[in-house]
Amino acid sequence: MSLRTRSWGFLGSFNAMASPCELLMAVDDEHIARQMLNIAYDEAKRIEHKFSRFIEGNVLWQLNHAQGEIIPIDAETLHLLTFAEQCFQLSEAAFDISACPLMALWRFDGSHNVPAQSNIDNALRHVGFASIELTGNSIYMPAGMSVDFGGIGKEYAVDRTAKILAQRWPNQSVLVNFGGDIACPIIKTDGWQVGIENPHKLDNAAALLTIRQGALATSGNTRRYIEVNGKRYGHIINPKTGYPIEHAPLSVTVLAPNCVMAGMLATMSMLKGAVAEDFLQQQGVDFKVFR
């Protein structure tokens, strides 16, 4: 974790949720900046440790290893699962956090292997949020099913951190940036300058946005994909076919009132494939699509 001075205030940085995280703070008091940074770090780590599917023994691990037993869940977990259920319904079963068995098959680690059809067919038998039953304080998931909060978790962490900071310092503008998912809870009159990565030239900005308040999220296949026999397979999986979405954009960036909404719309538009732009225009949000 580091804190550096800038002409406009302070820049804090750390790593969490497998991403570089930044906190831009328009403050002139280093003590306040350090307090803000500590809060952002603690909240990002808390959510990562609770909901990462790669951490053994945490809340999500217990849920994914319940093997058909009803298990109790707390209010925060219920909140995320309820939102995931809404995404599932709104997307007509395209945005499905229970696609975890498929995600475990598709490896974007440089191996360049397409899973065997028999393995995909077997995984598909354990996919489908409609089979999950939520009550006010418990969940039932059939044996063999599992969920992953990718597409929701990091965005939720951004919104949570932004909300905590805004409640404690309601007159101090900050920009929360966890791996490119961004929220600015307090208006900054002259705005924050945010670059959108060029998917054709990684680590370079293709456009510069000025954000005074609100949120931004990006979904894309620019870094996580494989090529097999000349065909490119992105990491966003169609939970109905078991294969990566066909004709999806390289990346989609969406501006919305909060990061969870921006992330949901960015992912849903990727799942729309060739008609991603039409879908986003119907939502009435500002967006940038690269193909």
Which amino acids are annotated as binding site for Mg(2+), given as ranges?
151, 267
Q: How many CB atoms lie within 10 A of CB 115?
A: 16
Q: How far apart are CA 204 and CA 113, in angstroms?
A: 29
* Tokens standing for residue 207: 């456009």
CB-based contacts of 217, cutoff 8 Å, min separation 6: 155, 180, 181, 182, 253, 254, 256, 259, 262, 263, 265, 266
Q: Are 44 and 50 in contact (CB under 8 A)?
A: no
CB-based contacts of 92, cutoff 8 Å, min separation 6: none
Annotated binding site: 151, 267
Q: Are 259 and 183 in contact (CB under 8 A)?
A: yes
- 3-class SS of residue 159: helix
Q: Are 117 and 92 in contact (CB under 8 A)?
A: no
123 to each of 1, 101, 116, 127, 150, how far by Cα in Å?
Answer: 39, 5, 11, 7, 18
15 to each of 18, 32, 37, 41, 152, how far by Cα in Å?
Answer: 7, 20, 12, 8, 18
Tell me how far the alpha carbon of residue 276 is from its chain's centroid: 18
Q: How far apart are CA 261 and CA 217, in angstroms?
A: 9
